[in-house]
Structure 1
Amino acid sequence: MLYQAIPPHYARIRDQLAADIAQGRFLAGQKLPPERDLAERFDCTRVTLRQALQQLETEGLIYRENRRGWYLSPPRIDYDPTRLVSFMDYVRRQGREPLTELLSAERRRAGAWLAARMGLPSPDEPVFRLHRRRLIDGRPVLVEINTLLASWCPDLLDARLDRSLTTVLRERFGKVQTRCTLNLRLGTVNDDQAELLQLASGASNLVLERLNYAEDGLLVEFDQEFWRPDAVSVAVQADFPSRPL
């Protein structure tokens, strides 16, 4: 006789909530009932319920805002970080509403770590550091730090920096970046990032680091992006050579 294993209670709760979502019981961005009410509905402890909710969060179906509760995830934004398209443009092209908040902008010395990362001749090399937060449909999804060579765009801090940096560099300064190298990894948010992204401290995030080069091959920018992992889907287009290398 074959016996079918009974799935654990949290898995059954996960399946029922996933079915509710699929059937349109909750709308994108809508807040789910409080954990207390859900625990009563499924006759379980809060610990068991949170196992189910965390599973759904891992799958990108729901997300948690720190101290506010659980929400149904809106569709992820599609993002190709190798393409020279601004955040504002590619979000709008997908029918969503982008917003950029400038948190700080300053001129400073690069420091030893950044000088080594960008191959600068001295840690005293002046750079501009921009700290910005990006939102989609009013929801914080990305914290970004852009560090640019001050000698490449010396009047950058005179420009409006709560909009597309790509557009500012091109239209105001005639500067264009032509290629980049990327590093993509999973990380965890620090306390400041958690507050800005409405996550719990130590929650997972998607970290993208990009070195951007100007037309003459000069390395001009180090870009760090810290994404909510449930907000983005990274898809890179690549052209293969006509014959194998």
Structure 2
Amino acid sequence: MGSPVYIQIHNQLRENIESGKWKVGQKIPAERELAASFDVSRMTLRQAIQALVDEGILERRVGSGTFVANRKVQEKMSGVTSFTELMQASGKRASSKTISYHLTIPSQTEIEKLQLPAGAKVLRMERIRYGNDVPLCYEIATVPAKLVEDFSKSEITSSFYRTLEEKAHLYPGHATQAVSATTATEKIATYLQIKRGDALLRMTQLSYLQDGRPFEYVHTQYVGSRFEFILEK
């Protein structure tokens, strides 16, 4: 038995994308035009398009049409991976913009999460992270000040994990992570070049060194249309 018609159309549409006939970000022809070219009903054509949308290959934009989607960055939520390493694995160039950077008194939550002694201070950084100059997430990272007292600001903000490994011979181990859905505020929308109310993935992560010490507490908001998490068991 042959494949259902909508699967055959799905495969042809995907081939158009993979062959470069339709480029990333390009709007594909209207459903009416495609249905006529395949000599099928619009309902069958929509099945094929929806399958590609579900796979993340196409994306619908309300009032604009259907476009070839940018490939989302994927993060396997096991172990600890730096943002720079994550971008490299995705074939993207990592960069960041520091919004704020200062030593401060930790909150009670930060004291508890980072197991800080009395009187300890923390370094708190507010950054926008980019892949190929496209803003992917907004983050607030908190680390024990004593841990980074011998590092320069550029060493910390450019690639904190690499600096830890190369200068202090400290190696990230595991992390605990919590992910939830939220929407962009006016401030975050401006930072991430999206619209207020757009979908965001919010992650709170506590990272530990291989010796078991917590070293980084991070709140991150990822642009939902540009990032996805892959869970491993």
SS at match of 1:151: helix
Equivalent of 2:163 in 151, 163, 168:
168
* 8 A contact 1:105–1:157 mirrored in 2: no
TM-score by length of 1: 0.66
Unaligned runs of 5+ in 2: 1-11, 34-49
Are 2:71 and 1:75 equivalent residues in the alignment?
yes
* 8 A contact 1:102–1:161 mirrored in 2: no
Equivalent of 1:98 in 83, 94, 99:
94
* Structure 1: distance between partners of 2:148 and 2:110: 18
* Structure 2: distance between partners of 1:162 and 1:222: 15
Deviation at 1:109, TM superposition (A): 0.8
* 8 A contact 1:153–1:173 mirrored in 2: no
Question: Which residue pairs with 1:223 in the alignment?
Answer: 218
Are 2:196 and 1:233 equivalent residues in the alignment?
no
Equivalent of 1:194 in 189, 200, 206:
189
* 8 A contact 2:79–2:173 mirrored in 1: no
Residue by residue over 1:163-207, the C-alpha shift from the partner in whole angstroms, topping out at 9 and shown as x without a partner, is: 222101111222222221111111122222111111111221111
* 8 A contact 2:83–2:94 mirrored in 1: yes
Are 2:102 and 1:137 equivalent residues in the alignment?
no
Unaligned runs of 5+ in 1: 1-18, 42-54, 65-69, 239-245
Aligned pairs, how many?
A: 204
Compare the two structures and name the one with the higher helix fraction.
Answer: 2
User: Percent of counterpart pairs with the same letter?
Assistant: 19
Deviation at 1:107, TM superposition (A): 0.8
CA RMSD of aligned residues (A): 3.8
TM-score by length of 2: 0.69
Question: Which residue pairs with 2:84 in the alignment?
Answer: 88
* Structure 1: distance between partners of 2:156 and 2:67: 31
For residues 224 and 199 of structure 1, do their structure 2 counterparts lie closer, same or farther at Cα, with a shift above 3 Å needed?
same
Residue by residue over 1:96-132, the C-alpha shift from the partner in whole angstroms, topping out at 9 and shown as x without a partner, is: 332222332211111234335545455x531011122
